[in-house]
A and B are shown apart, each in its own frame.
Chain A
Amino acid sequence: DTGVSQDPRHKITKRGQNVTFRCDPISEHNRLYWYRQTLGQGPEFLTYFQNEAQLEKSRLLSDRFSAERPKGSFSTLEIQRTEQGDSAMYLCASRTSGANTGELFFGEGSRLTVL
């Protein structure tokens, strides 16, 4: 039984570089969410997919951020021209659309440090 997996777990990069995170959801889950969490805060919603369709994006998701889920399975979150303010934990979560109770199953997160 595999849960949500994220890669890499940690990424250190220099300001201005591009980074990409990958998320593999639980296989039968068709909804996939990306959240960002900074120290002392709860997770903040970035975007979510149902199958391959990106249904909603937060205003937090600037033009430098792009997310894809090309085949409705794994997803990638790319940040271009990283800034120090992008340093955070990027969390991926998944769930089935059939469940109407809002429960999310999270991966272990990808921690980004921008120097």
Chain B
Amino acid sequence: TQLLEQSPQFLSIQEGENLTVYCNSSSVFSSLQWYRQEPGEGPVLLVTVVTGGEVKKLKRLTFQFGDARKDSSLHITAAQPGDTGLYLCAGAGGSYIPTFGRGTSLIVHP
């Protein structure tokens, strides 16, 4: 079983602050996805990273895939209340069954 550990589990910050959340595993993934989920809704895909060392930017969000393809990070610059949500990472190996971490619950206060 491929396990993904996310940290921190909870994050409560003020608008305008920066933050980083982490996704770690002992397994190598062929790709890794980040999703955001709002209460009562399904997860929505933010990004996929595939290549070790890859960095992708989505407006104020920066995603990085570790060189060994075992870990990833999500950095948010100048967080806004609209960034509030549960951030999930998911890894896909050879089984085509994506495995999810427990998520990081982010609250951004105005």
A-side interface residues toward B, CB under 8 Å? 4, 6, 31, 33, 35, 40-45, 48, 56, 91, 93, 97, 100-109, 111
CB distance from A61 to the nearest CB of B (A): 13
Residues A102 and B48 in contact, CB atoms below 8 Å apart:
yes
Contact partners of A56 in chain B: CB under 8 A: 95, 97
Cross-chain contact of A42 among B30, B40, B50, B102 (Cβ < 8 A): B102
Q: How many residues of B contact A (CB 8 A)?
A: 28
Contact partners of A103 in chain B: CB under 8 A: 31, 33, 45, 48
Contact partners of A108 in chain B: CB under 8 A: 40-42
CB distance from A83 to the nearest CB of B (A): 23
Residue of B nearest to A10 (CB): B40
Q: Take A42-B88, A109-B40, A111-B40 as given contacts and tell me if A101 and B102 are in contact as well, using a CB distance cutoff of 8 Å.
A: no
How many Å lie between the Cα of A104 and that of B44 in the bound state? Answer: 9
Contact partners of B45 in chain A: CB under 8 A: 103-105
The listed residue with most A CB atoms (<10 A of its CB), out of B31, B48, B96, is B96
B98: interface (CB < 8 Å): yes
Contact partners of A44 in chain B: CB under 8 A: 100
Which positions 31-90 of chain B face chain A at CB distance < 8 Å?
31-33, 35, 40-45, 48, 50, 88, 90
CB distance from B96 to the nearest CB of A (A): 7
